A and B are shown apart, each in its own frame.
Chain A
Amino acid sequence: MNALARCAAGLLLSTICLPFAALAADPQPTTEFTLDNGLKVVVREDHRAPVVVSQVWYKVGSSYETPGQTGLSHALEHMMFKGSSKAGPGEASLILRDLGAEENAFTSDDYTAYYQVLARDRLAVAFELEADRMATLRLPPEEFAREIEVIKEERRLRTDDKPNAKAYERFKAIAYPASGYHTPTIGWMADLDRMKVEELRHWYESWYVPNNATLVVVGDVKPDEVKALAERFFGPVPRRDVPPSKKPLELPEPGLRQITVHVATQMPSLMYGFNVPSLATATDPQSVNALRLISALLDGGYSARIPTRLERGEELVTGASSDYDAYTRGDSLFTISATPNQQKKKTLADAEAGIWRLLDELKTKPPAKEELERVRAQVIAGLVYERDSITSQASTIGELETVGLSWKLIDQELAALQSVTPEDIQKAARTYFTRERLAVAHVLPEEKTQ
C-alpha cells in the first residue's frame, strides 16, 4: 500500500496527512557510494559548524562469537588502539588528542564501531589512522597481556559489581535460547581468562576488511571531498572474503523461562522479555511497526501508560520501563523491567499483574486518538531534535546499515508509524505477548546464610 492509500485507510497516528517535509526542516543532503574494495560510504552534510564526525562500523560483534570465545569482538576493539603500521601502541590516540579530537569506540551484539569528532580540516588524519588499523593492526602480545587485565577491570566495574547489570546478563542468557544474542558483549570472565592474542588475530583477519565495513561521515563536508579522501586512504586496503554470517534467529515460541537471581541488592525487581522479530527478520514489517508503536504507548514519555498507570496511578512500582529495539540484525526482544513499590508493600507478583493488565488491554482495546497524536508529535519533533547532534545522526545511519537495513529508513520513520492501524496493534499484542515467548527474571536480595 502506498503512503497515500494508507493515509486514506483510516490512520491511527494522524488526523491530517501532511508530508513530513511540510512539518520539519528539509531533509539533509545525504550521499552514498561504494569504493572498489567494497567499503560503503555514507555522507550526510551538516554545515552548521565547521566540525565533522567520522565513524567506521564493522559488521561483527558478540552475536558472531562462539562459546568459549566470548568477548573477542570487544577485546579486539580495545586492541585496535595498540598500534598499526603508522602508529605505535596508543599513539593514534595521542595524535588525535593533540588535534583536539574526541575519539572512542564501542561494541555491541551486532557491530563494532570507531569514531572521531573533530574540526573539519582534520578529517584526513582520522581517515589515515582508521584506514591504517583496518589493514595493518599489530596486536603485540605484551600489550594484549596488559589490556586483557583492563578489560577484566571493565567487567568488574560494569557488570560484576553492579547487581542489576549482573542480573541482566543472566536474564539475557535465557531470553535468547537459540541465538548468539545470549552472549554478553564483554564476554564471560572464564573466557577472558583464557583468551589468546592469536584468537584476536584470527578474528581481526576474518572480519576487518573494507567490504565488511561502513564509513559514515556527517558534518561540514562535501561528498566529493570525502570521496577523494576515502579513495586515497581506504581505497588501497584490499578486499577479502569474510566468513558467511547468518542472522541470529530465535525460536518463535521457546516456552516460558524463568530465572531467579540473588544479588547484592536491597530492592527486588523483575525483568520481562518477549521473543519478537526485528525489522531485519520480520516477514511482516507491519508487526514490527506495531511493536514500535506499542513501545511508545507504554513508555514513550512521562505521559505514557507505564509511568501514568503503574508508577503514578496504582503506585505499583517506583520505576518501570519498556524497550524494543527494532534495528537489530536478528530477532529481537521486547523488554519490560520494574521495581515494585516497597513503601506501598507491593510485591513482584503485584507488579507482574499490573504489567499483564497493560499488555492484555493492548490485545483488546484500541488506543485513544489523543494518545496516538502524542506519539506522532513526539516522533515528528524527535526527528528534528536528532539533527542537533552530528554524532547521533551518524550513529543512526551506521547502525541501520550495519544490521542490514538502509539509512533511508530514517526518512520513512514517520510514515512507517503512521501506517499502523488499531488492528495491527491488537494483532501484534496477541501474537507476541504470550507466555510461550516470555523470559522472566526475578532479581532478589541475597539470602542470609544464618
Chain B
Amino acid sequence: MSQRNESRFARTRACSFALAVTFGLLGAASAMAETAAEAPKAIDKAASTLESLKELDSKAPARRSLNIQSWNTAEGARVLFVEAHELPMFDMRLLFAAGSSQDGATPGIALVTNAMLNEGVKGKNVSAIAEGFEGLGADFGNGSYRDMAIASLRSLSAADKREPALKLFAEVVGKPTFPADSLARIKNQLLASFEYQKQNPGKLAGDELFKRLYGDHPYAHPSMGTAKSIAPLTLAQLKAFHAKAYAAGNAVIALAGDLTRAEAEAVAAQVSAALPKGPALAQTLAPTAPKPSETHIEFPSKQTHLMLAELGITRGDPDYAALSLGNSIVGGGGFGSRLMTEVREKRGLTYGVSSGFTPMQAQGPFMISLQTRAELSENTLKLVKDITRDFLANGPTQKELDDAKRELAGSFPLATASNAAIVGQLGAVGFYNLPLTYLEDFMTQSQSVTVEQIKTVMNKHLDADKLVIVTAGPTVPQKPLPPPTDKPAEQPLGVPEH
C-alpha cells in the first residue's frame, strides 16, 4: 500500500550481461540509424568539458574476483559455491528444472507445487514453518517460472542459526506433506490473482503474446495456469510432480557466503540427501517459429500497451554476446538506446520503452515493449517497427559499438558486488550448464565483437517482417505523432549563476 516513490524511469536497467536468472518476460533488443552519430558526439564533447573524465584512464575497472567452486553431491545435484566471509550470513538457492514448461496437461501444477512447499512438513503446519524460519531470522523464498522453480534460504551463518534453518529448509524442499486445506486456500488465492489480472492490460497483452509466439509449445501458457486449469489439480498430482521434478538429479544448488568449503559441502549434502531421488528431467524441446501476426485486445485504459516479439535464443547460443551488445544499442540499455531516444526523448511518447532477449532453455523471446497514449498508438507502433527495421538493415555504428563495449566492461564489477548478485550468477551458470568461466568468457567475447558480426547475428535471429505483435487498449481515433526534436542546438552557458 505504500507507493511513495515516483522515479524517472522505474525499470532498473538490467545489467547488460544479466546472467542473473531471467524469469520469462524480461525483454531485450532492437535498433535504429539516424541517431547513430549523436551519442558519440555527446561523449566527445563531455570529455572535453569534464575534468574527471579526462583524468580517468581507459583501463577496465577492477572487480571482485570470483573463485567458483563446483562439485556434485552423492545424489547428483550440481553445486556451485563462492566463499565470502565479509558478512556473517549466507545465501542458498536451489534451482529445479520444474517450471511451467514441465506442466504438461495440467497448466499451473509447477507453480502450485512450488507454492505448497512451505505449507506443511512432518509435525509442522504452515504457521509453524513460518515461525521456525522467522524465529531464526532466516528468510525462506520460493518462486516458479517457465524454465525453473526456485527455493531459497538466507540465514545468519552462526551455527546456532544456520543448522536449524537448514534442517527446516531441507524438510520443506525435500519432504513437504501437501496439506489439503492449504491447497484449497492457495487455489482461492490464485483465483483472486486471476481476477486482479483482468484489470491489468499489460499482463493480458503479455499472456496473449506468449500464446501467439509459442503456439502449442510448453512456454505458451502462463506459469500461473488459468482459473480452469488450477481448479481440478489434486494432491496426488502435486505429490507426483514433486517426486520427479524436485529430485536431486534435477537440482542445482548455488551457495554464497560465510561458509568454509567443508561447511558448504556439508550443507549441500544435507539438502541434497533430503530431496527425492531421481534424474534430471528431459530438456524442453525447441518451439517452431510462429506466423507473424497482429492481435488487439480491447481494454478501457488510457494507454495502449504495445508488445512486439519473435523467438530469440537459447541460453547456450554462441551468438549471445553479439546479440546482447546489439540489443543494448537498440533498446536494452535504458537511456541512450535508439528506442528510448526516438520514442521518449525526442517525441515524449512513452515513459519507458525497452527491448531484450531472454535466453532460456529452449528459445526464449526477443521482445520490445512500451505503452503510449491510446490516440498515438498506431503511429507509435509504426515508429518502433521502423526503428527495428532500420537497425536490422544497417546495423550499429562503430562508435555505438565501442560505447556499448565500454559500458559492459564498466558495469562488470557491479555484477558480483553483493552476495545476492553472486548467488544469482551461480544459479544461472549451474542451471543452464554454462562453464564456470562464463562471466569472463562473455566479457572476452564481447570485447571482440564487430559491427558486421552484430548486423549478421541480429538478422540471423530476427526479421522485421516476422514480428508477432499484441496491443491492448481502447479503440480511439488516431492522431499523427508530434515531430521529433532535432538534437537541441548548442546552448549558451547563460544559465543564471547562483
Contact = CB atoms under 8 A, between A and B. Distances in A.
Interface of A: 24-25, 48-51, 74, 77-78, 81, 83-95, 97-102, 104-109, 117-122, 124-125, 127-129, 135-138, 140, 142-143, 145-154, 156-158, 160-163, 165, 168, 185-186, 205, 209, 233, 237-238, 240, 264-267, 271, 300-303, 307-308, 312, 315, 318-319, 321, 323, 325, 335, 337, 339, 341-344, 370, 373-374, 377-378, 380-382, 384-385, 387-390
Given A91-B45, A94-B335, A100-B406, A323 B2 contact: yes
Contact of A303 (B131, B195, B341, B348): B131
Of all A-B residue pairs in the complex, the 9 with the closest CB atoms, nearest first, are: A100-B410, A381-B137, A119-B61, A100-B411, A149-B348, A303-B130, A124-B52, A146-B348, A302-B130
A107 B498 contact: no
B491 A140 contact: yes
Contact of A120 (B46, B61, B138, B139): B61
A384 B88 contact: yes
Contacts of A109: 4
Interface stretch (B144-152, B206-214, B296-304, B319-327): B296-304
Given A83-B488, A88-B491, A158-B10, 12 more contacts: A51-B413, A93-B336, A100-B409, A100-B412, A102-B13, A119-B63, A122-B56, A153-B349, A264-B199, A266-B199, A381-B138, A390-B418
Interface of B: 1-10, 12-13, 39, 42-43, 45-46, 49-53, 55-56, 61-64, 84, 86-89, 118, 126-127, 130-131, 133-139, 154-156, 161, 185, 188-189, 191-192, 195-196, 198-201, 300-303, 333-336, 341, 344-352, 371-373, 403, 406-414, 416-420, 482, 485, 488, 490-491, 493, 495-498
A33 B145 CA distance: 47
A48 B84 contact: yes
B50 A95 contact: yes
A147 B5 contact: no
A88 B488 CA distance: 8
B52 A128 contact: yes
A373 B135 contact: yes
Nearest to B346: A146
A77 B201 CA distance: 28
Contact of B87 (A83, A85, A150, A388): A388
Contacts of A107: 5-7
A94 B42 contact: yes
30 contacts: A49-B63, A49-B418, A50-B61, A78-B8, A86-B50, A90-B42, A90-B336, A91-B46, A97-B334, A97-B336, A99-B407, A99-B410, A101-B410, A102-B414, A104-B9, A120-B413, A122-B56, A124-B56, A125-B50, A143-B488, A145-B348, A150-B344, A152-B373, A153-B303, A303-B127, A312-B126, A325-B4, A370-B135, A374-B134, A378-B137
B127 A312 contact: yes
Contacts of A308: 127, 130
Contacts, number: 324
Contacts of B336: 90, 93-94, 97
Nearest to B411: A100
B87 A157 contact: no
Given A51-B413, A146-B348, A374-B134, A97 B303 contact: no
A24 B199 contact: no
A266 B417 CA distance: 43
Contacts of A384: 87-89, 156
Contacts of B138: 381
Contacts of B409: 100
B134 A185 contact: no
A265 B199 contact: yes
